[in-house]
Chains A and B, each alone.
Chain A
């Protein structure tokens, strides 16, 4: 039992940190530009595919740096030449733009790399069990993923809270005109934030690619959960995104390991109902509904605390 709890906690935190890498960019972009970037998960996918391709050419470690840079540059270009123009036509146009962009990126990825999974492998230098707790091996690569995401989280926090750049970004969030009058190029700040945000998603892609499956549907698989994270955490709140990422990572992992069902709690259903729809609901285990738990959480948060866990404004 203890073993299950420890391993599930590790797995949950790992998944949560991966979500945070993506959610952090998404939530900062939202607070700056006021628009939910539907294509954010696509940059995560681009990161994975760039990482795959570059690691083919020059190895995994250079890819870990080059792929996010490329994806970030692409993200910045999208902001500079796409979103900024569309912005004049209002939020709906921006939303539709990012929505369309997500499909376009998926199509392009399918055209270049095909629709089936590519063979993106864990680098041999990390392909060994890191440690053994009880009788379970924990892979070194997963520890690496965890360390990278924690390092980025800490780095991000320091840059935003302590550095001059971070101060300007924070100021531009709430008072863009004032910041502009003080002589800062707010538009460039926006572009850089968009670029950094998408690059962070791409980092998540490069490190998740070998561990999970690098395939053209990976954006669509993860995209919806990202929105849950930023809404639950509070739109625009970085600490909120952090808490929500971990929460959802843990909820999903622990839900899988639970066998409880209504039948388990209240005893078996009376035979009169055995063939009815009720028997399905009665017998379903928590583990079976694990994948929809984040969405249940989303609905509950929107009803009872619309500004999110740590958010400051109504969504």
Chain B
């Protein structure tokens, strides 16, 4: 009797392992609670949507793709616990995007883990953490980044801003961690070089995802008499900042990285900043690229949000392409296949995963948010307003040098 019970207990476990071999598990480690939850949840659904897209075409090498969510609360320590949990659950591919502080901890952890566990390597696909250090001083063979890093974005933004003569006084407000720090210093050095006449009248760092009322900060921006604000804020830190600006009636131009994130468009509409908020990204709706439009429509039919992460689309599709090219799902072989890989990106045009530092280069778009013409079919968050292209930066113009000295496994 007892023996039978043991067999019965073992059976489901066998079933589990057999099942696991038929799936490619991607561990999604991002905030699903706390201040980062609003963007983390959208990211998760986007990845699940992309996994379904791959599965509909037969998965990767015939294996079903499964996204396994892990909540890191935007906290680096918690992320490492979740990464270990993911690895213990059989995950060999980890993806993360929100928070360069988290990304820095994860890339260290995974590099060390892979050193100690040859044959069980884990790859880290970074879809949105843009601190330049991750593909420079702290670059790792196991880390691949699909989003343009902060310096690339600032280079493009300042190139655009330099041709706007009305900009005279700039205020910088950013989140107080490695990413915000890199935005503010890049903005200052680049503006100095390109438009020395522009005055930086404020340079603010505020706690990451902890502020619930930005009114004091807005009062300060107002007092500084700035005409333009640059911010790298994301998630609720952007939405609440704009909400406070709307309440106080602050009318300035905004140059941002992440204005399109959850709550951002609603707040911009509330503030009535018609085509006064700019965003730099690797894609927006309303570019008129037919495959992207079809994807956007399908996503919106299923969820109540629009595509905020074209980079995630590129990541998942390139992952599948790399596995096909390597004819293997072994992370080391997939990593080798990804290096230097060229790819037709989601928004159209060629992208390239640079071998030297694992930074992906792709066309970038500066867009403003406001009233639409009939050529712009997509609005955001039911505001009626949508994105309009202001400038396109081709792939070759986004390439910046790297200081990365990549250590490759033998």
| Chain B residues within an 8 Å CB radius of A216 | 33
Question: At the interface, yes or no: B195 with Cβ under 8 Å from chain A?
Answer: no
Question: At the interface, yes or no: B10 with Cβ under 8 Å from chain A?
Answer: no
CB-based contact A211/B249 at 8 Å: no
How far apart are B91's CB and chain A's nearest CB, in angstroms? Answer: 22
Question: At the interface, yes or no: B12 with Cβ under 8 Å from chain A?
Answer: no
Number of interface residues of A (CB under 8 A): 35
Question: At the interface, yes or no: B276 with Cβ under 8 Å from chain A?
Answer: no
CB-based contact B32/A218 at 8 Å: no
Q: Select the stretch in A110-118, A149-157, A238-246 that faces chain B.
A: A110-118
What secondary structure prevails in chain A residues at the interface with B? mixed
Q: How far is the CA of A244 from the CA of B206 in the complex (A)?
A: 24
With A129-B249, A212-B213 already in contact, the answer to whether A291 and B33 are too (CB < 8 A) is: no
CB-based contact B223/A221 at 8 Å: no
Question: At the interface, yes or no: B217 with Cβ under 8 Å from chain A?
Answer: yes
Question: At the interface, yes or no: A257 with Cβ under 8 Å from chain B?
Answer: yes
- Closest A residue to B38 by CB, please name it: A116
CB-based contact A291/B210 at 8 Å: yes
Question: At the interface, yes or no: A260 with Cβ under 8 Å from chain B?
Answer: no
CB-based contact B247/A110 at 8 Å: no
Question: At the interface, yes or no: A187 with Cβ under 8 Å from chain B?
Answer: no
CB-based contact B217/A256 at 8 Å: yes
Question: At the interface, yes or no: B204 with Cβ under 8 Å from chain A?
Answer: yes
Q: How far is the CA of A215 from the CA of B236 in the complex (A)?
A: 11
Centre residue among A110, A138, A213, A218 by max chain B CB count within 10 A: A213
- Closest A residue to B176 by CB, please name it: A288
Question: At the interface, yes or no: B248 with Cβ under 8 Å from chain A?
Answer: yes
CB-based contact A117/B33 at 8 Å: no
B residues 15-50 near A (Cβ < 8 Å) are: 32-35, 37-38, 40-41
A residues 211-244 near B (Cβ < 8 Å) are: 211-213, 215-218, 221
Question: At the interface, yes or no: A163 with Cβ under 8 Å from chain B?
Answer: no
From B40, B207, B236, B247, contact of A291 by CB (8 A): B207
| Chain B residues within an 8 Å CB radius of A252 | 216
Question: At the interface, yes or no: A287 with Cβ under 8 Å from chain B?
Answer: yes
Question: At the interface, yes or no: B240 with Cβ under 8 Å from chain A?
Answer: yes
CB-based contact A212/B216 at 8 Å: no
From A1, A116, A139, contact of B223 by CB (8 A): A1
Question: At the interface, yes or no: B137 with Cβ under 8 Å from chain A?
Answer: no
How far apart are A306's CB and chain B's nearest CB, in angstroms? Answer: 29
Question: At the interface, yes or no: A104 with Cβ under 8 Å from chain B?
Answer: no
Question: At the interface, yes or no: B215 with Cβ under 8 Å from chain A?
Answer: yes
CB-based contact A136/B219 at 8 Å: yes
Question: At the interface, yes or no: B220 with Cβ under 8 Å from chain A?
Answer: yes
From B204, B207, B213, B222, contact of A211 by CB (8 A): B213
Centre residue among B32, B205, B220 by max chain A CB count within 10 A: B220
CB-based contact B236/A117 at 8 Å: yes
- Closest A residue to B247 by CB, please name it: A139
CB-based contact B210/A4 at 8 Å: no
Q: How far is the CA of A287 from the CA of B216 in the complex (A)?
A: 10
How far apart are B253's CB and chain A's nearest CB, in angstroms? Answer: 17
Q: How far is the CA of A256 from the CA of B211 in the complex (A)?
A: 11
Sorting the interface of chain B by its residue count into under 10, 10 to 19, 20 to 34 or 35 or more gives 20 to 34
- Closest B residue to A122 by CB, please name it: B247
CB-based contact A221/B210 at 8 Å: yes
| Chain A residues within an 8 Å CB radius of B206 | 256, 287-288
| Chain B residues within an 8 Å CB radius of A139 | 247
CB-based contact A257/B219 at 8 Å: yes
How far apart are A1's CB and chain B's nearest CB, in angstroms? Answer: 7
How far apart are B131's CB and chain A's nearest CB, in angstroms? Answer: 17
CB-based contact A117/B223 at 8 Å: no
| Chain B residues within an 8 Å CB radius of A120 | none
B residues 188-216 near A (Cβ < 8 Å) are: 202, 204-207, 210, 212-213, 215-216
How far apart are A16's CB and chain B's nearest CB, in angstroms? Answer: 13
B residues 41-83 near A (Cβ < 8 Å) are: 41, 71
Q: How far is the CA of A116 from the CA of B205 in the complex (A)?
A: 24
| Chain A residues within an 8 Å CB radius of B202 | 259
Q: How far is the CA of A161 from the CA of B340 in the complex (A)?
A: 77
CB-based contact A115/B37 at 8 Å: yes
Centre residue among B35, B206, B223 by max chain A CB count within 10 A: B223
Question: At the interface, yes or no: A125 with Cβ under 8 Å from chain B?
Answer: no
With A137-B249, A212-B212 already in contact, the answer to whether A117 and B38 are too (CB < 8 A) is: yes
Would you give the 0/1 interface string for A105-133, flagging 1 where the beta carbon is closer than 8 Å to chain B? 00000100001110000000000010010
Q: How far is the CA of A192 from the CA of B40 in the complex (A)?
A: 42
CB-based contact A288/B223 at 8 Å: no
| Chain A residues within an 8 Å CB radius of B207 | 291
A residues 165-214 near B (Cβ < 8 Å) are: 211-213
CB-based contact A3/B249 at 8 Å: no
| Chain B residues within an 8 Å CB radius of A115 | 32-34, 37, 41, 71
| Chain B residues within an 8 Å CB radius of A135 | 222, 249
Centre residue among B213, B215, B248, B250 by max chain A CB count within 10 A: B215
From A1, A8, A288, contact of B205 by CB (8 A): A288
| Chain B residues within an 8 Å CB radius of A37 | none
| Chain A residues within an 8 Å CB radius of B41 | 115-116
How far apart are A315's CB and chain B's nearest CB, in angstroms? Answer: 27
Q: How far is the CA of A288 from the CA of B220 in the complex (A)?
A: 13
How far apart are B336's CB and chain A's nearest CB, in angstroms? Answer: 37
From B71, B204, B213, contact of A287 by CB (8 A): B204
Question: At the interface, yes or no: A20 with Cβ under 8 Å from chain B?
Answer: no
Question: At the interface, yes or no: A42 with Cβ under 8 Å from chain B?
Answer: no
CB-based contact B216/A256 at 8 Å: yes
From B35, B40, B205, B223, contact of A257 by CB (8 A): B223
Question: At the interface, yes or no: A253 with Cβ under 8 Å from chain B?
Answer: yes
The 8 closest A-B pairs by CB, nearest first: A115-B33, A137-B249, A212-B212, A4-B223, A116-B37, A256-B216, A7-B219, A139-B247
Please list the residues of chain B having a beta carbon within 8 angstroms of any beta carbon in chain A: 32-35, 37-38, 40-41, 71, 176, 202, 204-207, 210, 212-213, 215-217, 219-220, 222-223, 236, 240, 247-250
Known: A257-B223, A287-B220. 9 other contacts (CB 8 A): A3-B219, A4-B223, A115-B71, A116-B38, A117-B236, A135-B249, A137-B249, A215-B34, A287-B204
Query: What are 28 A-B pairs at a CB distance below 8 A?
Result: A1-B223, A3-B219, A3-B223, A7-B215, A7-B219, A8-B216, A11-B216, A15-B213, A115-B33, A115-B37, A116-B37, A129-B249, A135-B249, A136-B222, A136-B250, A213-B236, A217-B33, A217-B34, A217-B35, A218-B212, A221-B212, A256-B206, A257-B219, A257-B223, A287-B204, A287-B206, A288-B206, A291-B210
